[in-house]
Amino acid sequence: MTTKLKSFLPLLGIAALAIALLVVAPAVLSDLRLNNLAKYCCWAMVAVGIGLAWGRGGMLVMGQGVFFALGAYAMGMHMQLESVGDGGIPTFMILYDPLAPLPAFWEPFRSGAFTIAMIVVAPVVVASILGFAIFKRRVKGAYFAILTQALAVALATLISGTIKYTGGDTGLSGFTSFFGYTLDDPLNRRLIFTITATLLVGCLVVAWQLYRSRFGELLVATRDAEERVRFLGYDPANIKLVAFVVAAVMASIGGAMFVPIVGIMAPKSMDAAASIFFIAGVALGGRAALFGPVLGALAVGYGQSTLSEQWPGTWIYVLGLLFIVVTIALPGGIASLATRGAGLLARLRSSDRKAASA
Amino acid sequence: MDSLIAPFLNGTADGALLLIAALGLALTFGQMGVINMAHGEFLLAGALTAYVTQQVIASTDLSILLALPIAFVVAGALGVVLEATVIRWMYERPLDTLLATVGVAMILRQFVLDAFPSQGVGVVTPDWLDHQIDVFGYAWPLRQLFTILLAGACLSALAALLKFTSFGRQIRATVQNRALAETLGVSTRMVDRITFFVGSGLAGVAGVAISLIAATDSTLGTKYIVAAFLVVVAGGLGQLKGTIIAAWVVGVSTAFFTDWTTGSIAQVIVFVLVVIFLQVRPQGLFTVRTRGLA
Amino acid sequence: MFKSRNRMLSVTAAALTTGLILSSCGGATTKDAAPTAAPKSCVDTSGDTVKLGFLNSLTGGMAISEKTVSKTLHMAADEINASGGILGKKIVPIQEDGATDWPTFAEKEEKLLTKDCVAATFGGWTSSSRKAVKPVVEKYNGLFFYPVQYEGLESSKNIYYTGATTNQQIIPAMDFLKAQGVKTLFLAGSDYVFPRTANAIIKLYAAKLGIKIVGEEYVPLDKADWTTQVAKIVKAKPDFVFNTINGSSNVGFVKAYYDAGLSPKTTPIISVSIAEEEAPAMGHDVSGNYASWNYFESIKSPANAKFIADWKKYPGNSGVTSDPMEAAYDSLYLYKELVEKAGSFDVDKINAAAKKYKITFNAPEGLITLDGENHHISKVANIGQIQPDNQFKIVWSSGTPIAPDPYLKGYDWFPAATRDALVKAAG
Interchain proximity B229–A146, CB inside 8 Å: yes
Per-residue pLDDT tens digits for C50-84: 999 999 999 999 998 999 999 999 999 999 999 99
The average confidence (pLDDT) of chain C is: 90
Give CA–CA dist B68/A96, Å, rounded: 48
Residue pairs between chains A and B whose CB atoms are closer than 8 Å:
131
Closest by Cβ to A327, choosing from B96, B222, B264: B96
For B172-189, what is the mean pLDDT?
86
> In sequence order, what DSSP letters do the residues of C156-181 get, joined into one string?
-TTEEE-S--GGGTHHHHHHHHHHTT
Residue B93 confidence (pLDDT) above 70: yes
Question: Residue C188: in which H helix or E strand, if any?
Answer: strand C184-190
Interchain proximity B271–A153, CB inside 8 Å: yes
Question: Which residues in chain B are contacts of C65 at CB distance < 8 A?
Answer: 118-119
Closest by Cβ to B267, choosing from C220, C248, C255: C220
The pairing of beta strand C240-244 with beta strand C184-190: parallel
Per-residue model confidence (pLDDT) at position B60: 80
Distance from CA of A248 to the nearest CA of C (A): 18
Distance from CA of B249 to the nearest CA of C (A): 16
Nearest residue to C166 via CA among C182, C180, C154 = C154
Give every CB contact of residue A19 below 8 A, 6+ residues apart in sequence. Answer: none
In DSSP terms, A58 is beta-bridged to none
Distance from CA of A153 to the nearest CA of C (A): 11
Please check whether the two domains, C49-165+300-379 and C167-297+384-426, share a CATH topology.
Answer: yes
Chains within contact range of chain A (3+ C-beta pairs < 8 Å): B, C
- Cβ pair A245, A131 in contact under 8 A: yes
Looking at per-residue pLDDT, the higher value among B218 and C32 belongs to B218
Residue C3 confidence (pLDDT) above 50: no
Residue B257 confidence (pLDDT) above 70: yes
Mutate to test the interface with B, among A143, A159, A164 (most CBs of B within 10 A): A143
Residue C31 confidence (pLDDT) above 50: yes
Interchain proximity C65–B224, CB inside 8 Å: no
> In sequence order, what DSSP letters do the residues of A269-294 get, joined into one string?
GTSHHHHHHHHHHHHHH-SSSSSHHH
Any idea what the Cα angle at residue A187 is, between residues A184 and A190, rounded to 5°?
Answer: 105
Residue C222 confidence (pLDDT) above 90: no
Distance from CA of C181 to the nearest CA of A (A): 28
Q: Where are the domains of chain C?
A: 49-165+300-379, 167-297+384-426
Per-residue model confidence (pLDDT) at position A153: 94
Residue C4 confidence (pLDDT) above 50: no
Residue B290's pLDDT band, with cuts at 50, 70 and 90, is very low
For B202-218, what is the mean pLDDT?
95
Q: Quick check: helix, strand or coil at residue C55?
A: strand
Residue C90 confidence (pLDDT) above 70: yes
DSSP code at position C141:
T
Burial class, C92, CB count within 10 angstroms (exposed 0-12 / middle 13-18 / buried 19+): middle
Question: Which residues in chain C are contacts of B139 at CB distance < 8 A?
Answer: 234, 260-261
User: Structural domain tally of chain A?
Assistant: 1
User: What topology does CATH give the domain C49-165+300-379?
Assistant: Rossmann fold (3.40.50)
Give CA–CA dist C228/B7, Å, rounded: 6
**Cα nearest neighbour of B89 on chain A:** A328
Per-residue model confidence (pLDDT) at position C25: 52
Mutate to test the interface with A, among C11, C41, C194 (most CBs of A within 10 A): C11
Looking at per-residue pLDDT, the higher value among A288 and C238 belongs to C238
Question: Which residues in chain A are contacts of B278 at CB distance < 8 A?
Answer: 139, 143, 147
3-state percent helix, strand, coil for chain A, nearest multiple of 5: 75, 0, 20
Domain containing A150 equals 3-357
Give CA–CA dist B226/C241, Å, rounded: 31
Tell me whether C220 touches chain B (CB under 8 Å): yes
Distance from CA of C299 to the nearest CA of A (A): 32
- Cβ pair C361, C337 in contact under 8 A: yes
Give every CB contact of residue A325 below 8 A, 6+ residues apart in sequence. Answer: none
Question: Which residues in chain B are contacts of A155 at CB distance < 8 A?
Answer: 268
Per-residue model confidence (pLDDT) at position C26: 59
Per-residue model confidence (pLDDT) at position A352: 61
Per-residue pLDDT tens digits for B8-63: 999 999 999 999 999 999 888 877 788 899 999 999 999 999 999 999 998 888 99
Interchain proximity A279–B98, CB inside 8 Å: yes
Give CA–CA dist B144/B142, Å, rounded: 5
Chains within contact range of chain C (3+ C-beta pairs < 8 Å): A, B
Interchain proximity B222–C61, CB inside 8 Å: yes
Give every CB contact of residue B60 below 8 A, 6+ residues apart in sequence. Answer: B54, B124, B125, B126, B127
State the complex-level ipTM.
0.92
Residue C1's pLDDT band, with cuts at 50, 70 and 90, is very low
For the CA atoms of C12, C15, C19, C20, the dihedral, rounded to the nearest 10 degrees, stands at 50
Interchain proximity A187–C36, CB inside 8 Å: yes
Question: Which residues in chain A are contacts of C73 at CB distance < 8 A?
Answer: none
End-to-end Cα, chain A, rounded Å: 26
Give every CB contact of residue C427 below 8 A, 6+ residues apart in sequence. Answer: none
Per-residue model confidence (pLDDT) at position B172: 83
Q: Which regions in chain A score pLDDT beneath 50?
A: 1, 358
Interchain proximity A327–B100, CB inside 8 Å: yes
Distance from CA of A152 to the nearest CA of C (A): 14
Domains along the sequence of chain B with CATH = 2-280 (1.10.3470)
Residue B179 confidence (pLDDT) above 70: yes
Query: CATH homologous superfamily for C167-297+384-426?
Result: Response regulator (3.40.50.2300)
Per-residue model confidence (pLDDT) at position C205: 96
